[in-house]
Amino acid sequence: MIAGPFGAVADVFRPEAIGRAVRIRGWVLRLRSSGGILFLVLRDRTGTAQVTGRRDVLGPERFDAVEHVQVEGAIQVEGTVADDPRAPGGREVRARTIEIVDAGAPFPIFQEQTEEFRLDKRHLVIRSADHVATFRVKAELLRAIREFLATEEVLETTPPILTANPAEGGAEAFAIDYFGRPGYLSQSAQLYLEAMIAPHERVYALTPSFRAEKSRTPRHLTEYQHLEVELAWSDLDGLMDFVERMILAACHAVAERRPAELTALGRPPQELLGLHGPFPRVPYLEAIGRLQRAGLPVTWGSDIATAEERALTLEEREPIFITRFPRELKAFYMLRTPGDPRTVEAADLLAPEGYGEIVGASCRETDVDALIERLRASGANLADYEWYLDLRRHGNVPHAGFGLGVERLLRWMLRREHIRDTTPFPRTPSRHTP
């Protein structure tokens, strides 16, 4: 029995570690034996290190047992750190004893397996190096966003996920049976955040959002992490300034804190550090003009869908805003542009290099009659939105907000082909397991 405490694998590589006794534990990345010596690579949360074990030191019984530990089996090691130029990183731990926590069954994951199989075995695949790097970056991204929002004095709040009224249109809401009454999984916390600006002025929520879109695209999940911010007193320009500052702060922080992971995943950190803004702000009308000149069959009123987003951003190095969309293309709660009844005060932020929309932003309609008219036109049941309409009757102030798809942002930051590679257990139309 190895009595703790245990150190971190990364500590093996500290300058002063040479010659010292260490206790480390973790999972076996690979293992082989030759000439009475075991060579294994041990992984913990901090890194990997080579461990060697001699038959004459461990004793034949222990040696034979460890020799049969499988890839991803778990062990504890007590030994001495030594320099060895042949070991990865130039160091190894020479084991005095090795204890088996779980010898493990043969690990079923190999590089050349089909994507479907790997998705079925996602609970094991997430141990691989690219997943480890991805989720370290994701955690850093979430931390950076929260730090930025704290600096900006935006209050974190906890809106509900179970709701009686869809926020973004019934067709794409997951309906649930709420004790015999209709309910929906939240598509957006926006309506609740709008309620919370009266007491707090600047609020945000980071919650899962659910979209029952049957879109099998590389950028749609049915469940995703949604960062939503709502700001009292903001107009569209102020909101775009805020989004831009936040994206730049997040990209820079991630590049500074996770350079090795970014490099390993194919995004040189210098590229993120090199982003500086301002992000171009292109009115919808001008975007349509650009697309027409590029030969795309679009006119006023056309949706900016995947192909259009791609054409608009393929050559861009920084994200761009598309602003002031035709009213019919957008949600019921968006404010009509003063002086132009055809458009709304909305802006979508498109990632460069063809990765598409990462933020949807807008000023909110403050006129209760205009809201009622738009809700009616969308076929909504007005009674379900009565509480929301109430907000326009008691301290109704100009306000604006946005939603950011965390996995969309990460997909661009990490240049991942498919959005499912930015979340450990992806939910798509064809999969909600494991």
Q: Residue 67 or residue 384: which is nearer to ligand 4AD going by CB? A: 384
Q: Could you say which DSSP state residue 73 is in?
A: -
For residue 27, the cross-strand partners are 43, 74
Find the DSSP H helices in 81-153.
Answer: 115-120, 122-125, 129-151
Q: Residue 78 or residue 194: which is nearer to ligand 4AD going by CB? A: 194
Binding mask 324-363 for ligand 4AD (x = CB under 6 A): ---------------------------------xxxx---
Q: Which does 228 bind (CB under 5 to 8 A by kind): ligand 4AD, Mg ion, none?
A: ligand 4AD
Chain residues 413-432 in contact with ligand 4AD, contact rule CB under 6 A: none
Chain residues 135-164 in contact with ligand 4AD, contact rule CB under 6 A: none
Beta strands in 325-379 (DSSP E): 336-337, 340-344, 346-351, 356-363
- How many residues can be counted in the chain? 434
- Neighbouring CB atoms inside 10 A of 229's CB total 27
Pairing mode, if any, of strands 399-405 and 21-34?
A: unpaired
Q: Which listed residue (190, 323, 343, 428) binds ligand 4AD by CB under 6 A?
A: 190
Tokens encoding 96: 């005095």
Contact between 168 and ligand 4AD per CB under 6 A: yes
Contact between 186 and ligand 4AD per CB under 6 A: no
For residue 401, the cross-strand partners are 230, 362
Q: Residue 92 or residue 309: which is nearer to ligand 4AD going by CB? A: 309
CB of 429 to ligand 4AD, least distance (A): 10
Q: Would you say 110 and 128 are in contact if contact means Cβ atoms under 8 Å apart?
A: no
Tokens encoding 79: 């030994």
CA angle 238–242–243, rounded 5-degree value? 120
Cis previous bond, 398, omega within 30: no
Please state, in angstroms and as integers, the Cα–Cα distance from residue 25 to each residue in 50, 78, 97, 123, following that order.
Answer: 12, 9, 12, 21
Binding mask 217-256 for ligand 4AD (x = CB under 6 A): ---xx--x-x-x----------------------------
CB of 332 to Mg ion, least distance (A): 14
Contact between 125 and ligand 4AD per CB under 6 A: no
Q: Which does 168 bind (CB under 5 to 8 A by kind): ligand 4AD, Mg ion, none?
A: ligand 4AD
Q: Residue 75 or residue 409: which is nearer to ligand 4AD going by CB? A: 409
| Residues 6 or more apart in contact with residue 329 via CB below 8 angstroms | 301, 303
Binding mask 376-405 for ligand 4AD (x = CB under 6 A): -------------------------xxxxx
Contact between 308 and ligand 4AD per CB under 6 A: no
Number of residues that bind ligand 4AD (CB under 6 A): 22
Amino acid identity for residue 131 in this structure: H
Q: Would you say 232 and 201 are in contact if contact means Cβ atoms under 8 Å apart?
A: yes
Contact between 25 and ligand 4AD per CB under 6 A: no
Contact between 50 and ligand 4AD per CB under 6 A: no
Tokens encoding 74: 């778990």
CB of 221 to Mg ion, least distance (A): 14
The three-class DSSP label of residue 76 is: strand
Q: Residue 50 or residue 423: which is nearer to ligand 4AD going by CB? A: 423
Residues contributing to the site for ligand 4AD (CB under 6 A): 167-168, 188, 190, 211, 213, 220-221, 224, 226, 228, 357-360, 401-405, 407-408
